Structure formats: C-alpha cells, structure tokens
Structure 1
C-alpha cells in the first residue's frame, strides 16, 4: 500500500456504480482511470446485487485500479431465499477479491414510496451482511440515511464493527456525533458544492474520517447540470471541503486520498 506524500492532486472515487453506466460512458471513465497521466488512482465500485457483483469482478480482473465491493442495495425488493443463497455463495467464493461488503443498508426512499413496506426483513438482511463483514474482516459500505442511520449504528455496535463507511450520508446531529465517536467514515458527493445540508455535515465531520465519491451515474445539479457524472467532479468537492475546513487544498487532497487507501486497504 502506498500513500500520497507529495503535493499532487490525486483522487480516488470512494463510491461509484460503474457497472450501471452505459457502455460508452463506462469506457470513458476506465480510459481516464488508466491514462498514465491521470490523477484518478482508483475506483471503489459498489454492487447492487449478485449480477452487478459479477460484472464488477470481471472489470476488476481486467483493471487493477478498480476495487469491487459485493452486496445488495436496499432500495429494491427484498431478494428471495434462492437469490440470497446465490449472492452469499458468490461473496464467500470471492471474498478475497472484494475490498468491502456493500452496498448494503436500509430502504429509506423505498419506504417513502411504499409506506406499508416492512422494515424488519431489511434489518435482518443488513445484520447478516454485518456478520459477514465481521467474519471476513472487511469494511462495510452503508446506505443508511436520516432515522435509518441510528438503526444501522445499533447493529454495527452490536457486532463491534469499527470500519463502516456511510456513503452520501444525511442525518441528525445526534447521529453524526455518534458516528464520529465510533470512528465511522462518511463520503460526500458533488452536491456538496451547492447543498447547504451537506456543507454543514462537512463542517461537523473530522477530515480524518471523510472521503469523496460520485455515486455515479447518479446525476447532479448546479454546475453539473446535464453532465455525465465523472470522477473529475470530485475536484470541485475537494475545493469545497478545503474552503469549509479552512485547510490548504493540497493538504485536503493528501488527507482524503490517504483516508480511502487506509480504509479500504488498497
């Protein structure tokens, strides 16, 4: 493992759904990643289910700067027992090839659309992913926002999980303080450039527990309207973090780069 020790603007996308991009756009990002002069040094490519996990694995086998995670995104119908067995089997066989368990969590936005959706099956599934992360000594990547974050924290604490990454997090100050105390990491997307809620979170969260991501291909507004989500957008995020934290931008680049390297052991 190497760390940034020079004043260079290296970046790693801490959370991207690379296999969800159209083929042409995916190729554009990979070509940028692999260009000899690129400042983009890595992608943490998260999975939605077993099918996207298989595609992520194939990309990682071809491109060493792609680092896959395997899991089940919670903003979809709970999988069948057969589907879960297939997913857990795939993860077991390939656990040494994944850098984390994820993306996993709780269905906040799905429940907004379907208020009668039962949360308990998702909590049980999340706890199983947490148990596997503990067993395999892997970090866990979480989709858990607002009130769901406290439920996730309960489960993480129950299993004494230390390496947890809450991506694109939003939540109350009490939960933020709890996450900071537990040593959990968060990552922010390019919407931090124009969203006050995320800027407030950046101000509160220690830079030592902070990362940047795109969550691509999710699109963004403000200065990024109608643009394909690309890891270079994170330069704007880092400039925003430097301004909010009142820290030299070179130091912010180095800190955030090293945070991802250390957290994911890449």
Structure 2
C-alpha cells in the first residue's frame, strides 16, 4: 500500500510538471496587435524594416531592387520565412531569391524550402520559403549556428534581363516560428543577443537613460532568452522521480521481514 501511495503521488507530480511543458511546446509566434504590419521595405541592412513574427509585411518595388526586412528570433525557435512576389502581367522568366542573415550579417543556410525559384513567363506570382535551423542559446565562436538576436531578410530578383528591369512588383513577407523546446537546449547562453547597437545602448544607459543607439528595437514579446523553460526540465524531474521509486521498490523487496524468527524452547523446559 505504501508503494501504491508513493507511486500515485509521483504520477500526480508528473502531471503537474508536464502541464507547463505542454503549453510551451505550441508555436511561439502569434500575430501581434501592438501595431499595423509594415507596408514598405528597406534597401539595405541599415534601413531594413522591422517585422514582428506573425505579421504579414507588404511592399511595392521594381524589379532589380533589393528589399530588406528584419525580425527577432530567440533561442529554441525555428523560424520559417515565406515570401510571395506578385509579378506584372507581361514579363520574361524571372528568378527570385530570398536570403536570411543573422545579427552579424552571416548568411544562414536553409534547412529546407524553395529559397530560389524561377517564375515562368507570364506567371502571376512566385512563392519562396526558407526554414532556418533552430536558434541556439550559445555556440562556439567559430561555428555558424543561428543565435538569438536580429535576423535580416533580403528579397531580390537575380539574373534579370534588361527588358524586365524597372517593372512594378509587389511583395509579401511573413515570419513564423516553431518552439522546439528542450531538444535544442544547450549548456550556455550569450551575454547579449546579436542585436546591432545593443552594446552601445548598454553603455549609454549607464550615462544617460535617454541616449539610445540600437539599430533594431524590436524584440520577442517576453523579452530575450524568454525560452529558458523547456521540457528538458520535466524529463530531468521524471528521471529523478523514477530513480527514487526504483530505489524505494528495491529496498522494500530486499529488506526482508523484521519479525523475529520463532526459536523453539530448549529440551526439558
């Protein structure tokens, strides 16, 4: 009976512990109602237009232009960048490409997705997608792993012919993320996210709170490193509880009976 009560209490504790992990495993990106979605794009890294995850940004441009947006990505997230380019009614075959760079302007490889696609002649639109690797909380200095911070998206047409230069196009961009959870957890974290100008801001706050020089002001809803909780903690707790139950069960089975053995009386007593 004692083991049954202990096992029942352990299962109840596991249910309570698994609750936050289940809620945390849902996609982290949701549409933000804080502001309207951007309707323009930048022309360089420094003028990239900030986009929150879950928003659909739009922009009007001409073929041959470089369109830049930026978005924040925190540790444990796997961002998916999707772009749709609406082409003019009459055009030649065009090849469009989407590239993603981190806060250090290192080009990040796509796990999968149509990063480059050629639109057939007179096609109405072309759709591109790039699923990045999971953002890590820490990495070796020589590695090219995605790290928390600002990410830049560049959309442009490559190999255009002179007849297609300058034609009007419209583009849509959307970024969503999936929370990977404890499977992507690492032992370490960055002192600061890779946000351009954040070191300048930290120094300015010590001298004058009104002096800020951050080139990217957008950040996750819960702040940076908001994904410190993951199901890795739950599985650690489950392992500890199972080990304790195994120890209790083994001790109960091997300790034997505490009742004194019956000793027969001596002869003639």
- Per the normalisation by structure 2, the TM-score is 0.24
Max Rg structure: 2
Structure with greater proportional helix content: 1
Structure with greater proportional strand content: 2
- Per the normalisation by structure 1, the TM-score is 0.24
